[in-house]
Amino acid sequence: MTDYEELGELLAPGRPVECLPSFDVLYNETRDAWLRRFSTVDHIDSKAATVLALDGVFIGGLFAILAEGTIFQPIACTFLRLFLSLWVVLGVFSLIVSLVLALLAFWPREWTDLVEPQVVCEEQLDKPEEETRKQLLMNWIDAHNRNWTIITCKARLLKRSKAALVAAMVLFAVFIICYVVVLAVGGV
């Protein structure tokens, strides 16, 4: 017998709440946790939107710089041009990976709702308050278990997106340093 089945037996209809001394505490804490879940999702989505904005700024800046086509003209050596181009290509690839992962983290998911109003009215309206509260507690637990997988997936995607963005920033910093050094040496 699983823990969920044991909990179902404890909360079985007809069993008085007086037999469950911590029922009110569990009910209230579960309700509060359910309400806090929305702030967690909003927090992840706002971070994903920030990463998307930073990706957009970097991509826009790159296109503005590279659109002129004159950035590599001061460099005479083909090998150095290829070397510097490699850093730009790797940076753009990291930006694209970051952008895709941030979009996936931001993308809406199908959430398990707590209750459907019509179902509750049909099934629980004529039941005693204790049984309705027990059923709500079971619904909260079930919805939490289903939605937690989505929340952790969104957080994992956001973490990887931020890592790709940092990698792109490092690659572009290396490109800028190499570019300045090559220009300081005289374009070789």
User: Structurally, how many domains does the chain consist of?
Assistant: 1
Query: What's the CA dihedral at 78, 79, 81, 84 to 10 degrees?
Result: 180
The verdict on residue 124 lying in a domain is yes
- In tens digits, the chain (188 residues) has pLDDT values of 455 555 555 555 565 555 555 566 666 766 676 677 677 778 888 899 999 999 999 888 888 877 776 677 777 777 887 888 888 889 999 999 999 999 999 887 777 666 665 665 566 656 776 777 777 777 777 877 888 888 889 899 999 999 999 999 999 999 889 888 888 887 65
The verdict on residue 67 lying in a domain is yes
The verdict on residue 7 lying in a domain is no
Tokens for 52, please give them. 């998307």
CB 170 within 8 A of CB 33: no
- Rounded CA-CA distance 123/131 in Å is 11
Tokens for 135, please give them. 């059923």
List the domain range (segments joined by +) for residue 29.
Answer: 24-185
The verdict on residue 1 lying in a domain is no
The verdict on residue 54 lying in a domain is yes
The verdict on residue 90 lying in a domain is yes
The verdict on residue 62 lying in a domain is yes
The verdict on residue 15 lying in a domain is no
DSSP 8-state class, residue 13? T
